Amino acid sequence: MADIAVLTTGGTIDKLYFDALSEYQIGESVVGRITAIARVALDVRVEELMRKDSLELTDADRATIRAAVERAPESRIVITHGTDTMTDTAAALAGIAGKTVVLIGALAPARFAESDAPFNLGMGFATAQVAVPGVWIAMNGTVFAAGHVRKDRGLGKFVAE
């Protein structure tokens, strides 16, 4: 059993853009590369669940995510997720006993030089280690309890409710 499981679902954190005129694709997860560059000393298990924009996630996808969290032997879980429906997935994960689940994402793809992705992933790892069991969202230097946060598109950040 790893110290932390990372479940990847897609979202901006893993987006690829080929040129200014092309549409994005969600590529292979960058989690392994980021943890290697950061020299993360924890034992981390990465499991790719899907490669979707969060606007495309369905109730069935959220059930898949929940099932993966429930069956994971780890009690600390970080989920990479698109920011548009992150709060919906957080709500779908409510009530899972004995697990600290942290959803993180990025407002700019991890492959961009000026991305918030590595910082948010680090925040997710830290939150998973110190927060009490429950569902959390860690974005841009702030940790929010699920159910008490929303994405403010105008401000380009998550805010407490």
Higher pLDDT, 24 or 53: 53
Is residue 151 helix, strand or coil?
A: strand
What pLDDT was estimated at residue 22? 58
41 Cβ contact partners less than 8 Å away, ≥ 6 residues apart:
none
Higher pLDDT, 70 or 43: 70
What pLDDT was estimated at residue 17? 62
Higher pLDDT, 33 or 129: 129
CA-wise closest residue to 127 among 140, 116, 118, 136: 136
> What DSSP designation does 85 have?
T
Higher pLDDT, 128 or 22: 128
Phi, psi of 17 (to 5 degrees): -125, 130
Catalytically active residues are 12
Higher pLDDT, 133 or 2: 133
Distances (CA, A) of 40 to 9, 56, 79, 102, 142: 21, 31, 17, 17, 21
**Average pLDDT score, the chain:** 89
What pLDDT was estimated at residue 143? 96
What's the pLDDT tens digit per position in 45-57?
Answer: 999 999 898 888 9
Question: Which sequence spans correspond to the domains of the chain?
Answer: 4-160
Higher pLDDT, 69 or 38: 69
Residues 86-105: b if buried by 16+ CB within 10 A, e if exposed: bbebbebbeebeebbbbbbb
pLDDT band at 34 (very low <50, low <70, confident <90, very high): confident
Which CATH number applies to 4-160? 3.40.50.1170
Has residue 88 got a pLDDT over 60? yes
Has residue 70 got a pLDDT over 90? yes
Helix (H) or strand (E) holding 140: none
